């Protein structure tokens, strides 16, 4: 409980500030961009900016323990409750990648809108893997045992990506490079960095933050921050 309370205080401090220092730089919360975003709606009718969020000028690194696997040896596994498990190298993923514009929302209260991300839709890889009918959830597996869990129906939305590039450049290590998941419609901790595997499972498996007091689903428009 002490760890959860510390995290809550951190989120409250982040929401209160107008500029956040990270890795020697500043990531400015923009009131103008926030006001503009609050006036916009998504195609599904929800406001573009979820409640409790403010727009940040650029994507902020949020910590974690990077992978120590050299890019030349990097592989991502697509496996579990599937008919045809397989692995891909970074070069093979790059050949399948397309560029997307995504909005991301951090549980600490900042959002970045229209980030240019190049990656492979997980749905495209699932077509090759052929999930079994009993597969109900997707587990994103990252370096050093980090995991995040997403219901399969949401994980296979067209905007859920395995991403290698950000704003036209190779994905920085601090942002999860060489490969991260991007799950735009859930809080950003679901978008596992330093991704190593995507496992289809029958039963839900709460991940790293979910077992530490965070909400199991993490819908920003419902402010599902805590379990």
Calculate ∠ Cα 47-159-207, nearest 5°.
95
For residue 189, tell me if it sits in a domain: yes
Query: Which CATH number belongs to the domain containing residue 185 in this structure?
Result: 3.90.420.10
| Alpha helices (H) along 26-182 | 31-38, 90-96, 122-129, 152-155
What domain range is 196 assigned to?
Answer: 2-222
Size of the chain, expressed as the number of residues it contains: 227
Q: How many domains does the chain have?
A: 1
Residue 227 lies in a domain: no
Query: Is the whole-model pTM more than 0.85?
Result: yes
State the pLDDT at residue 1: 52
Which of 193, 190, 196, 194 has the alpha carbon at shortest distance from 216?
Answer: 190
| pLDDT bucket at 17, cuts 50 / 70 / 90 | very low
C-alpha to C-alpha distance for 49 and 156, rounded to whole angstroms: 22
pLDDT at 2 over 60: no
Q: What is the mean pLDDT of residues 179-184?
A: 98
Which tens digits make up the pLDDT trace of 113-161?
Answer: 999 999 999 999 999 999 999 999 999 999 999 999 999 999 999 999 9
Determine how many CB atoms are found less than 10 A away from the CB of residue 159: 16
Q: Which segments of 63-97 are extended strands (E)? A: 75-80, 86-89
Q: How confident is the model at residue 163 (pLDDT cuts 50, 70, 90)?
A: very high
């Amino acid at each position: 409980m002490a760890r959860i309370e510390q995290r809550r205080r951190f989120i409250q401090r982040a929401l209160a500030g107008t500029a956040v220092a990270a890795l020697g730089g500043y990531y400015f919360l923009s009131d103008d961009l926030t006001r503009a975003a609050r006036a916009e709606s998504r195609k599904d009718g929800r406001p573009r900016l979820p409640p409790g969020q403010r727009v940040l000028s650029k994507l902020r690194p949020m910590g974690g323990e990077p992978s120590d696997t050299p890019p030349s040896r990097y592989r991502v596994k697509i496996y579990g409750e599937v008919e045809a498990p397989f692995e891909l190298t970074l070069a093979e993923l790059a050949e399948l990648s397309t560029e997307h514009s995504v909005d991301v929302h951090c549980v600490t209260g900042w959002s970045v809108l229209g980030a240019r991300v190049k990656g492979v839709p997980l749905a495209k890889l699932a077509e090759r893997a052929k999930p079994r009918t009993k597969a109900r959830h997707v587990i994103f597996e990252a370096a050093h045992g980090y995991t995040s869990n997403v219901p399969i129906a949401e994980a296979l939305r067209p905007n859920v990506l395995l991403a290698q590039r950000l704003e036209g450049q190779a994905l920085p290590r601090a942002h999860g490079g060489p490969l991260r998941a991007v799950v735009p419609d859930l809080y950003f901790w679901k978008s596992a960095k330093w991704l190593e595997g995507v496992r289809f499972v029958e039963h839900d498996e709460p991940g790293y933050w979910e077992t530490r007091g965070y909400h199991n689903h993490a819908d920003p428009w419902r402010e599902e921050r805590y379990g």
